[in-house]
Amino acid sequence: MRRVIMWDMVSVDGFFEAPGHDIGWFVFEDELAAYIGETQLEADTLLFGRVTYEMMAAYWPSAEGNIATFMNGVEKFVFSRTLTSADWHRTTLLTGDAAKAVERLKQRDGGTIFVFGSADFAAGLIAKGLVDEYRLGINPVLLGNGVPLFKPGLKRTELKLTHARPLKSGVVILHYQPQADAQ
């Protein structure tokens, strides 16, 4: 069965966006780019909610470099109740039950499935137990306000740390598995 990995950059105080969808506070440097280059090869599918999809689709098609090549070439699914089309290369728009669709995607042959951003969409997957691993890039900043990565109301879930990688920039990359899935 394919695994779903939620990968997000987050502030120390738990926000993945500052007000106004501002993500300009992310620390992005060579070590992080190398980590992304190392880990993106395991993924062959990306999942997005509408807001994150629109931000990504506005940026990546005209970007250059290895990450852009990956983002533009990989299979993508956007889950939305309001979009009528998804024109970014290799993107499929899904409008039905997201959890059921992700359960079907996990059953298909293929590599790892990544969820980027998309906190509202991801909250539904978390609630249904569909996230197999959390990868967080903890950025050395306190935002004080913004969009929290984890929504209130989630059930308590014990996590097992499976990887920690501090970067020179102060970003710390952490991998966690829900305890029921940890080995």
Question: For the chain, which residues make up each domain, given as ranges?
Answer: 1-7+43-109+121-154
pLDDT tens digits for the chain (183 residues)?
999 999 999 999 999 999 988 889 999 999 999 999 899 889 999 999 999 999 999 999 999 998 899 999 999 999 999 999 999 999 999 999 999 999 999 999 999 999 988 888 999 999 999 999 999 999 999 999 999 999 888 889 999 999 999 999 999 999 999 997 544
CATH class of 1-7+43-109+121-154: alpha beta
* Global pTM value: 0.92
Phi first, then psi, for residue 32 (nearest 5°) are -65, -40
pLDDT in tens, 69-116: 999 999 999 999 999 999 999 999 999 999 999 999 999 999 999 998
Type of residue numbered 171: V
Contact 91, 23 (CB under 8 A): no
pLDDT number for residue 181: 53
